[in-house]
Structure 1
Amino acid sequence: MTARAVFAIGIDPALLDFSGHPQLTSELVRSYIDAELQRLREQGYDVTSCLIDLGETAEQVAAAALASGRFDCVVIGAGLRVPPERMLLFEKVLNLVHRLAPRASICFNTTPADTAEAVRRWIDP
């Protein structure tokens, strides 16, 4: 049986401003992301991670990564969706997913620590 393919996309935590969340650091957020992706792999998923910048090359990087395979599910991180100032970038990424992975389910995590749950809502390993 072939592993179900998951594409996880979000903003690179090294580029985020955590001044409004002093309990978070880019290193801590990155460790949560890495742990969740590893957890998905241990659950039998084939995971491709795509961390993008805040807009300069985000579309090109996302498009190239999406074109690299066929995905059953795309999980879009909260850092890309939630802040109102990133709405345009979120829309661009969502439309890339729609165009380049039209058969993939789309899901959203609420934190970097619940990505596996978001994926499992839409596909089984």
Structure 2
Amino acid sequence: MTVARVLVIGLDPAKIQGWDPQPIQTAIARGQARLDDRGIEADYCLVALDENPERAVVEALTRREYACVVVGAGIRKHEPLLKFFEKVVNLVRQHAPDAAIAFNSTPEDTVNAALRWLPRGA
């Protein structure tokens, strides 16, 4: 069985002002456990919007080859982040052109998003 590697790009819950990061961190850990259970290796790129997130995304995308890049709902669904969401998608296309792009709805369904695009048996 081939091991698939996935990159998950999302907002760092510990760096969002006015939020209690614990529930999101717990959900990320549950999502990671679900990926582990399926034998899917995952790297996380959790960004802070005020710390050059584009650079962090490029660094993560170019560190390894990925079969799939999952963009988190925190980036995708929050209307004020539309421009950043578009940048992330275009950075994936530029720096990981062979990777599938998937979108989760919660940190816990990241495995479902990845499995929609990973080759069978990965």
Rounded Cα–Cα distance in structure 1 between residues aligned with 2:106 and 2:16: 14
Q: Which amino acid aligns with 2:16?
A: L
For structure 2, the 5+ residue unaligned runs are none
Q: Which residue pairs with 1:73 in the alignment?
A: 68
Larger helix percent? 2
Partner of 1:10: 10
Q: Which residue of 49, 56, 81 corresponds with 1:54?
A: 49
Work out which of the residue numbers 17, 21, 24 in structure 2 matches 1:26. 21
Q: Which amino acid aligns with 1:44?
A: G
> 1:42: how far off?
2.4
Q: How many pairs align?
A: 120
- Mapped pair 1:115 → 2:106: no
SS in structure 1 of the partner of residue 108 of structure 2? coil
SS at match of 1:50: strand
Gap regions ≥5 residues in structure 1 = 20-24
Contact 2:65 2:96 in 1 (8 A): yes
Q: How far is the alpha carbon of 1:17 from its aligned partner?
A: 5.3
Per-residue deviation, 1:58: 0.2
Residue type matched to 2:45 in 1?
C
- Correspondences of 1:29-40 after superposition (within 5 Å): 29-40=24-35
Question: What TM-score, normalized to structure 1?
Answer: 0.87
State percent identity of aligned pairs: 38
Q: CA-to-partner distance for each residue in 1:19-47, whole Å, 9 max, x for gaps?
A: 7xxxxx31111111122123212211121
User: In 2, Cα distance between the equivalents of 1:36 and 1:48?
Assistant: 12
The separation in 1 between residues aligned to 2:83 and 2:77, in whole angstroms, is 11
Establish whether residue 44 from structure 1 lines up as the match of residue 36 from structure 2.
Answer: no
- State whether residues 34 and 108 of structure 2, in contact with CA within 8 Å, keep that contact through their aligned partners in structure 1: no
* Conservation of the 8 A alpha-carbon contact between 1:81 and 1:90: yes
